[in-house]
Amino acid sequence: MSLTPSQWAALLPLLIPVFGACVIVIMSLDTDQATTKWIRGAMYGTALLAVAGSFWYLTDLWKAGSQPAFFQLHMDRLAQFTGIFVMVAAALTVLQSWDHFHQEGWVKGETLALLLFSAVGMMLFASTTHFVTLFLGLELFSIPLYALVGTVRARSESAEGGMKYFLTGAVASSCFLMGGVLIYGLSGTFDLAAAASILTVKGLALDPLVLVGAALMLLGFLFKVSAVPFHQWTPDAYEAAPHPIAGFMSVATKGVAFIALLRVFPGSFAPLGALGMKMQAVVAILAVATLVLGNLTALVQSNVKRMLAYSSISHAGYLLLGFVAGTPAAYTGVLFYLVIYLAMNMGAFGLLTAFGLVGEHTTFEDLRGLGWKRPAMGFAAAVFMLSLAGIPPLGGFYGKYMIFRELVGTGHVGLAILGVLASLVSAYYYLRLLVALFLQAPSAEAERLASDRPAVHAPLAGAAVLVCAVIVLAGGFLQYALVDGFAKRALVEGLGLLR
């Protein structure tokens, strides 16, 4: 069995990060890595190179268009979209990690290797409709993340969060696997698209076992997007994880889980029309619960990372509302939303690093008055928070706008009203961060701590934050270009929707 050159080209974006990760693992065998600066530099350089190489080949593929599927691997526009999405997130994470791990005093090469493996798993996860490959992708991106959450072993909370995440994640993976097995048992094929056709032909579309199987698979996705009631791991894991890793999880895990959900449920399971309707009702209820619980709990957080965790839960609610509307335009909105969400959330977590907040010192109190000390970062913070709250003319507004518009268009006016009310609540806790940054003077305690710490130099994290701010601003003024040129093409030429 041999691969044609074009198939090699389609595989390269996956292979390059794997190769880079292996090189980094070898480098990190050097016991002096904590003391020798050039080795650390080489490891980070390799990681960035691997991400850039993968990104480069992905843009090449994007220019060429959708690739024919092989080995159950669909390198279509949607997969390329996912790849670009994940690689941008990974690059931002690597940049922020350099500063964050130096601040924490815990620079280890294996974090980078794990990050790259996870990124490859994510691309695999979102580019297949074959259940085994899907599960492989899920585990390949989840297991490194379990380890990454607990990576700073010097902190006991870190290990605790990692363990929590691992245990709940393992249960969710098992459920996902069970669901796939049920579908396989009834249809006799692992290819989900084929299975859907077979089940329809057999008249088993509404068979209780099929429903259970589909529901268990849905549970797996909902766990990864951290929708209520599968969200409890999120705040603990984010709080335990190093800031850049928390940002990466909040963005990339959620993003690829939504894209894979899009590929499987409205995509592959399209023939099972009636099942789709049942799932839609379930998703609507869960979306409402996610919005209400996520937003209300975020209100009372005193730790910025936990607030961002609940905020990320509530954003899963808005995205799920896009699935409730269920029109091609709504899915376009979901993809656009994810792009903006990538920038604003990676940026928000990057701020913590850029402001030099380490360990547990990530409360609103710790941020007081910092906006004036670092005006550029403060400006970026205002952009991220207002965009997360959905205030025009920033990118976040247009994501919500597209989803709410489709909800109204499909007759779900009540859900749209609930959505805007949730937005209103969210504005309060996002403003709290701006209140801390600009409207409050630093507390005496914070001043003392700041004088104890060495001056913060986080040039790479700062650069990453500014890149994110530019993307969010661009999303507000060139939204149509992003939607038409990127999100819509991924959907049309990836899933064949909107044709």
Sign of the dihedral through C-alpha 256, 395, 53, 38: negative
- Of the candidate residues 3, 154, 281, 439, the single one contacting other proteins (CB under 8 A): 439
471 interacts with other proteins by CB under 8 A: no
Nearer to other proteins, 247 or 442 (CB): 442
Q: Which is nearer to other proteins, 285 or 478 (CB)?
A: 478
Mention every residue, 6+ apart, whose C-beta is less than 8 A from residue 48: 91, 94, 95
For position 427 contacting other proteins by CB under 8 A, the verdict is: yes
DSSP 440: S
* DSSP letter, residue 457: -
Regarding 473 and contact with other proteins (CB under 8 A), the answer is no
Is 280 among the residues that bind other proteins (CB under 8 A)?
Answer: no
- Listed in sequence order, the residues at least 6 apart from 31 whose beta carbon sits closer than 8 Å to its beta carbon are none
Pick from 90, 402, 472, 491 the residue near other proteins by CB under 8 A: 402
Residue 107 found at the interface with other proteins (CB under 8 A): no
Task: Calculate the alpha carbon distances from 118 to 17, 56, 308, 447 in Å.
Answer: 10, 19, 22, 39
Nearest distance from C-beta of residue 126 to other proteins, angstroms: 23
- Smallest gap, in angstroms, from Cβ of residue 474 to other proteins? 14
CB contact set of 411 (below 8 Å; sequence gap of 6+): none
CB under 8 A: which stretch of 125-133, 195-203, 347-355, 389-397 binds other proteins? 389-397
Q: Does position 424 bind other proteins by CB under 8 A? A: yes
For 130, the 3-state DSSP assignment is: strand
For other proteins, the binding residue among 99, 236, 406, 493 (CB under 8 A) is: 406
Q: Does 295 bind other proteins (CB under 8 A)?
A: no
404 binds other proteins (CB under 8 A): yes
Bridge partners, residue 191, by sequence: 130
Q: Could you say which of 196, 344, 456, 483 contacts other proteins (CB under 8 A)?
A: 483
Which residue's CB is nearer to other proteins, number 271 or number 328?
328
Among 44, 323, 398, 486, binds other proteins (CB under 8 A): 398
Considering only residues 321 through 380, tell me which ones interact with other proteins, judged by CB under 8 A: 329, 332-333, 372, 379
Neighbours of 32 (CB within 10 A): 8
Pick the piece of the chain touching other proteins (CB under 8 A) from 184-192, 279-287, 312-320, 418-426.
Answer: 418-426
Q: Closest separation between CB of residue 189 and other proteins, Å?
A: 36
401 binds other proteins per the rule CB under 8 A: yes
Residue with the two structure tokens 């589909």: 214
Question: Taking the complex as a whole, how short is the minimal distance between the CB of residue 144 and other proteins, in angstroms?
Answer: 37
Span of 29-37, 139-147, 172-180, 412-420 interacting with other proteins by CB under 8 A: 412-420
Tallying the residues shown for the chain, one arrives at: 499
> Is 440 an interacting residue with respect to other proteins (CB under 8 A)?
yes
CA distance 338 to 60: 22
Q: Is there binding between residue 300 and other proteins (CB under 8 A)?
A: no
**355 vs 442: CA distance, rounded Å:** 13
| From candidates 69, 435, 473, 498, binder to other proteins by CB under 8 A | 435
Listed residue (363, 362, 381, 361) closest to 371, CA to CA: 381
> Does residue 438 touch other proteins according to CB under 8 A?
yes
- 417 lies in the site for other proteins, by CB under 8 A: yes
**Helix, strand, or coil here: 303?**
strand
CA distance 288 to 356: 36
N-term to C-term CA, the chain? 35
Q: Which residues contact residue 149 at a Cβ distance below 8 angstroms, ignoring those fewer than 6 apart?
A: 158, 161, 162, 165, 237, 240, 241, 245, 249
Smallest gap, in angstroms, from Cβ of residue 416 to other proteins? 5
CA distance 52 to 170: 31
The residue range among 156-164, 274-282, 313-321, 477-485 that interacts with other proteins, by the rule CB under 8 A, is 477-485
Please report, as residue ranges, which positions from 4 to 33 form the binding site for other proteins (by CB under 8 A). none
Position among 393, 459, 485, 496 found at the interface with other proteins (CB under 8 A): 393
Total Cβ atoms within 10 A of residue 8: 11
Between 113 and 436, name the residue whose CB sits nearer to other proteins.
Answer: 436
- Spatial distance between the Cα atoms of 59 and 300, rounded to a whole number of angstroms: 42
Closest CA to 355 of 371, 335, 339: 371
Residues within the interface to other proteins (CB under 8 A): 329, 332-333, 372, 379, 382, 386, 391-393, 397-398, 401-402, 404-406, 408-409, 413, 416-417, 420-421, 423-424, 427-428, 431, 434-435, 438-440, 479-480, 483
